[in-house]
């Protein structure tokens, strides 16, 4: 397997294969781009079927972090790491310490945080070996409230373009997933008078949203069929796909979930269907803004201002997508590359 020829390579600055025989650690750290600053992105633990699959995932995710942080106006580049293994059976304190030494060996070019299957306690172990970690207990804390606020503001920006006003009162919103982000997000919508339908595999979460937010409950299978203006995926990725698009009657798709579109081609497909899609990595950037506030000692005011700016960034993306009759995801990627190019040019 050649890394340089890999379809997702996309000019990565550095790709580090980490192996520690004593602990069984197998990890890949991908540093995509440090034009804007040190790369920051979570570490994911997954039982990949092959090292090729792990490489594909980490390359794709690290490039996504470059674009996400650039569009969020952060002094951060993009990076990501994956630990290959079963999160239920393969974790050990020694494994995370060995991983921490690899992170440290990059000298700050990569700052890690939590991602899928990695807990704060795992990151605490990594932090015993390196200071290049963010999202540890007692520092910036849970990013979900900022993610929820940014997602809510992003939905307002989308409503302005799709319905002519960013007032959500009376709009019907289906929220898929009422977890850490989904609940707070739904609470903002309820406060503004949106009409909520919610679903979750966790019945307690659904009951809470029904009781406290006046939401209507629907099963996870039926959520695509409800009468809605806005579909808000706040649970899993890839729920916007060929099958669900036959059923989703919304004019807007905007939520916090990562990787909402099943494939890159769905960016154009949703545009062709007349649906306004808020690119996921733009609308859910509140989380990385929050983590960045810890990594770069950003003030509370600056953090809040950057989260609020998600509205303006999406506003610009939607305006340009309409003017150029192009998909919103494509425009977002292009705007991120423009930010990187301008920064690189300013350095001479």
Residues lying near ligand NAD in the complex (CB under 6 A) are found at 143-144, 147, 176-182, 199-202, 205, 220, 234-236, 256-258, 284, 287
CA distance 80 to 102: 13
In 3D, which of 4, 13, 36 has the Cα closest to residue 338? 36
Give the tokens for residue 143.
């990013």
Nearer to ligand NAD, 18 or 254 (CB): 254
In 3D, which of 42, 66, 73 has the Cα closest to residue 308? 73
Q: Cβ 144 to ligand NAD, closest distance in Å?
A: 4
* Cα torsion 41, 174, 167, 192: sign: negative
CA distance 93 to 109: 24
Q: Cβ 245 to ligand NAD, closest distance in Å?
A: 17
Nearer to ligand NAD, 61 or 98 (CB): 61
Which 8-state DSSP code applies to residue 241? Answer: S
Nearer to ligand NAD, 115 or 333 (CB): 115
Q: Is 178 one of the annotated binding-site residues?
A: yes
Give the tokens for residue 225.
């069929």
Q: Cβ 183 to ligand NAD, closest distance in Å?
A: 8
Nearer to ligand NAD, 151 or 271 (CB): 151
Q: Which of 80, 97, 156, 251 is catalytic?
A: 80
Q: Is 81 one of the annotated binding-site residues?
A: no
Is 249 strand, coil or helix?
coil
Known active-site residue 80? yes
Q: Cβ 151 to ligand NAD, closest distance in Å?
A: 8
Q: Is 79 one of the annotated binding-site residues?
A: no
* Cα torsion 3, 85, 220, 196: sign: negative
Report the residue closest to ligand NAD, judged by CB: 179
Q: Is 164 one of the annotated binding-site residues?
A: no
- Adjacent-strand bridge partners of 231: 174, 253
Known binding residues:
177-182
Known binding residues for NAD(+):
177-182
Catalytic positions, written as ranges: 80
């Amino acid at each position: 397997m050649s890394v340089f020829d890999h379809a997702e390579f996309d000019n990565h600055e550095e790709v580090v294969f980490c192996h520690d025989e004593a602990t069984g650690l197998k990890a890949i750290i991908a540093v995509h781009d440090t034009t804007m600053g040190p790369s920051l992105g979570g570490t994911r633990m997954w039982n990949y079927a092959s090292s090729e699959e792990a490489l594909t995932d980490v390359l794709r995710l690290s490039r996504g972090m470059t674009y996400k942080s650039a569009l969020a106006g952060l002094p951060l580049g993009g990076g990501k790491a994956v630990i290959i293994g079963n999160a239920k059976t393969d974790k050990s304190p020694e494994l995370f310490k060995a991983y921490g030494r690899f992170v440290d060996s990059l000298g700050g070019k990569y700052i890690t945080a939590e991602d899928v299957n990695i807990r704060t306690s795992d990151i605490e172990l990594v932090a015993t070996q390196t200071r290049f970690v963010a999202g540890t207990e007692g520092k910036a804390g849970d990013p979900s409230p900022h993610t929820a606020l940014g997602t809510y503001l992003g939905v307002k920006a989308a409503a302005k373009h799709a319905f002519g006003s960013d007032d959500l009162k009376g709009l019907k919103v289906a929220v898929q997933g009422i977890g850490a982000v989904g609940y707070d997000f739904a609470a903002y919508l309820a406060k503004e008078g949106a009409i909520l339908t919610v679903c979750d595999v966790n019945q307690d979460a659904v009951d809470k949203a029904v009781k406290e937010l006046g939401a209507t409950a629907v099963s996870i299978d039926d959520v695509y069929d409800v009468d809605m203006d806005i579909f808000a995926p706040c649970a899993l990725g890839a729920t916007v796909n060929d099958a669900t698009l036959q059923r989703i009657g919304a004019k807007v798709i905007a939520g916090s979930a990562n990787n909402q579109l099943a494939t890159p081609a769905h960016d154009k497909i949703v545009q062709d269907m007349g649906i306004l899609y808020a690119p996921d990595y733009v609308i859910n950037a509140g989380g990385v803004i929050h983590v960045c506030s810890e990594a770069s000692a950003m003030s509370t005011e600056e953090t809040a201002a950057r989260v609020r700016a998600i509205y303006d960034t999406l506003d610009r993306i939607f305006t340009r997508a309409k003017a150029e009759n192009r998909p919103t995801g494509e425009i977002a990627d292009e705007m991120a590359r423009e930010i990187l190019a301008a920064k690189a040019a300013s350095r001479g």
